[in-house]
Amino acid sequence: MSSSPRSSTPSLVETLRRQVVPVLVWVLLALVLRWAVLEPRWIPSGSMLPALQLQDRVLVEKLRARLHRPIPIGTVVVFHPPTALIAAGYDPKAALIKRVVGQAGDEVEVRDGVLWRNGSKAAIDWSAEPMDYQLEPLTVPPDHLLVLGDNRNASLDSHLWGPLPQEALIGTAVLRYWPLNRLGWLRISAKGHPPGTTIELG
């Protein structure tokens, strides 16, 4: 007596394996990318006007910070609040966004409304307008950055709480992806302008 032929219909387990496993792999890959490589963020304040508008969406690249690579002047960085802001009540998990204007070893000051770096006026600046405050000459310590908002006169930044420890960095903002009519690479579109002038950025 011969046995009955095996059904050619895939089993439920086989079907789930074929359909669910690839989805799980993609979800896992997306989570790894978000944790280690790229992370979307939105702009909650006007401290980076005019380069970044309220509610703009940006992609933050995280590898440079994780690998402790140098952060060039002019880079827009996203970071956790430093100790001074946490002591003032900021959520340690919050994310702030500013622009790097001084690297470790640079002497930075603000005088007569203008940013000075290492004894000379900064050749390129991103300030929305002349600064209405003074910053005494300050040498940026090792493993720190000096960061200011582009909207200098309405930004809670290094001129108030000092240099930013690089260990607080989340990453560098590289791409504005929303709104679509302002889509663009931040490092390319936000070129800055000579001190004492203003220009719409981005």
CB of 50 closer than 8 Å to CB of 149: no
> Catalytic amino acids?
47, 98
| pLDDT tens digits in sequence order for the chain, 202 residues long | 455 555 555 677 776 667 666 666 666 655 555 555 788 998 988 999 988 999 999 999 998 888 888 999 999 999 999 999 999 999 999 999 999 999 999 999 999 999 999 999 998 888 888 999 999 999 999 999 999 999 999 999 999 999 999 999 999 999 999 999 999 988 644 445 455 443 332 2
The CA distances from residue 117 to 123, 147, 157, in Å, are: 9, 13, 17
Q: What is the pLDDT, as a whole number, of residue 11?
A: 76
Q: What is the pLDDT, as a whole number, of residue 128?
A: 82
- In 10 A of CB 191, how many CB atoms? 13
The residue extents of the domains of the chain are 39-189
Q: What is the pLDDT, as a whole number, of residue 26?
A: 61
Q: What is the DSSP string of the chain?
A: -PPPPPP-SPPHHHHHHHHHHHHHHHHHHHHHHHHHTEEEEE--SSTTTTTS-TT-EEEEE-HHHHTT----TT-EEEEPPPHHHHHTT--TT--EEEEEEE-TT-EEEEETTEEEETTEE-SSB--SS--SS-EEEEEPPTTEEEEE-SSGGG--SHHHH-PEEGGGEEEEEEEEEESGGG-EEHHHH---B-TT------
Q: What is the pLDDT, as a whole number, of residue 154?
A: 93
Looking at CATH, the fold of the domain delimited by 39-189 is given as Umud Fragment, subunit A (2.10.109)
**What global pTM score does this model have?**
0.77
